[in-house]
């Protein structure tokens, strides 16, 4: 038994010149049909690295750049006025960044820093990503199923749409050097997330600490690494739904109003949790234990009892959520919560 999250995180833009982050790296790319600018984003200001030119006949139209976070890649496509179609991908493969053509007109040539490249279907970029690739495990859904046109998402400024994308991308991104400030009140945290989304990102969730948008008075760039914004923000979002100490799991400890319904899959220190809630109340909880351990469960709302079972035992009702025993390699199911 699992809690299903059907959301697929594939935000896209139709605007040439949008900055995107190659998932699992700190390499940003500003994409136009005929030119790509690459930046190292793990610095106080985006550091220009190299440029690529796509030389094709005619004028580009029907441009689309898609950040396929599920597959860890950027996909770009457009048509030319000569009736030809160009489709390519940018992705990390182990310790390399690949530029791969899926559809390439025979007349198209690829240049790197004004020098022609070898005529092949893929090209290894002169960049070595830091850290290991992080597998896709964690995801969050807040019940929104609209098309992920990122320009329209930004116009709507809906945290219900933006927070799951930030959570997913941040979970795949190496941690930055500088921690963000901590928050004791959920109102402060919600305000921080909203302001950061508007002021500290460029393009499709590409951290840019040099950005000065003048959307707020006295808006100054942050002094920490942009990757603190992305990954530490993911941890802050996670803390809204689940927190842990050595012997206690806090379920929905700081649930803000815009998160009244949702589903979560999240990694913990000694386990993995799946969670579903509606109208701020827990509906289902699945805990996959990686160790023999005893844990307390504390809910955001007072629970009188619930149904409890593991993968090998019959279902029982429990009223005591303290000192529950979990065995290594077992999965445990909680549902039918009574308040």
pLDDT tens digits along 244-300 = 999 999 999 988 888 999 999 999 999 999 999 999 899 999 999 999 999 999 988
Q: Which residues of 9-28 are buried (b: 16+ CB within 10 A; e: fewer)?
A: bebbbeebebbbbbbbbbbb
Sorting pLDDT into bands at 50, 70 and 90, what band is 33? very high
Q: Are 326 and 287 in contact (CB under 8 A)?
A: yes
Angle between helices 186-199 and 159-171 (to 10 degrees): 80
* Predicted pLDDT of residue 215: 46
Provide the mean pLDDT of the chain: 87
Instruction: Mention every residue, 6+ apart, whose C-beta is less than 8 A from residue 125.
Output: 38, 50, 90, 96, 97, 98, 99
Q: Which tens digit of pLDDT belongs to each residue from 178-229?
A: 666 555 555 577 777 787 887 778 899 988 766 555 445 545 555 556 667 8
- Domains of the chain: residue spans and CATH: 12-124 (no CATH), 245-339 (2.60.40.1180)
Query: Which of the 8 DSSP states describes residue 245?
Result: -
* Phi, psi values for residue 238, rounded to 5°: -60, -35
C-alpha to C-alpha distance for 183 and 59, rounded to whole angstroms: 50
Cα 178-182-186 angle, rounded to 5 deg = 140
C-alpha to C-alpha distance for 53 and 222, rounded to whole angstroms: 32
* Predicted pLDDT of residue 177: 60
- Token couple for 23: 């998932």
What residue ranges in 130-233 does DSSP mark as E strands? 139-141, 201-202, 206-207
4 has a pLDDT exceeding 60: yes
Q: Which tens digit of pLDDT belongs to each residue from 70-89?
A: 999 999 999 999 999 999 99
240 has a pLDDT exceeding 70: yes
C-alpha to C-alpha distance for 51 and 331, rounded to whole angstroms: 49
* Phi, psi values for residue 37, rounded to 5°: -110, 125
C-alpha to C-alpha distance for 3 and 275, rounded to whole angstroms: 7
């Amino acid at each position: 038994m699992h809690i299903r999250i059907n959301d697929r995180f594939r935000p896209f833009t139709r605007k040439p010149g949008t900055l995107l982050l190659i998932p699992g790296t700190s390499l940003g790319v500003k994409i136009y049909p005929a030119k790509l600018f690459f930046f190292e984003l793990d610095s106080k200001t985006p550091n220009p690295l190299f440029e690529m030119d796509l030389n094709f006949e005619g004028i580009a139209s029907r441009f689309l750049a898609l950040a396929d976070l599920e597959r860890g890649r950027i996909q770009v496509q457009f048509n030319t006025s000569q009736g030809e179609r160009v489709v390519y991908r940018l992705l990390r493969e182990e310790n390399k960044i690949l530029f791969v053509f899926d559809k390439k007109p025979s007349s198209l040539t690829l240049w790197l820093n004004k020098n022609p490249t070898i005529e092949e279907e893929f090209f290894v970029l002169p960049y070595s990503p830091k850290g290991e690739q992080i597998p896709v495990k964690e995801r969050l859904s807040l019940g929104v199923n609209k098309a992920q046109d990122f320009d329209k998402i930004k116009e709507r400024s809906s945290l219900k749409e933006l927070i799951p994308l930030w959570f997913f991308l941040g979970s795949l991104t190496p941690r930055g050097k500088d921690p963000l400030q901590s928050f004791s009140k959920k109102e402060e945290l919600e305000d921080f997330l909203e302001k950061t989304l508007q002021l500290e990102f460029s393009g499709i969730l590409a951290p840019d600490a040099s950005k000065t948008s003048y959307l707020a008075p006295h808006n100054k760039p942050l002094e920490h690494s942009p990757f603190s914004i992305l990954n530490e923000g993911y941890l802050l979002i996670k803390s809204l739904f689940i927190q842990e100490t050595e012997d206690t799991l806090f379920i929905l400890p700081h649930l803000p109003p815009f998160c009244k319904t949702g589903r979560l899959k999240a990694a913990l220190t000694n386990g993995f949790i799946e969670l579903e809630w509606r109208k701020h109340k827990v509906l289902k909880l699945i805990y996959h234990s990686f160790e023999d351990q005893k844990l307390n469960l504390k809910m955001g709302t007072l629970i009188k009892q619930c149904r409890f079972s593991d993968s090998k035992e019959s279902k029982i009702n429990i009223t005591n959520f303290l000192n529950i025993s979990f065995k290594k390699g077992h999965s445990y199911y909680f549902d039918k919560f009574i308040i």
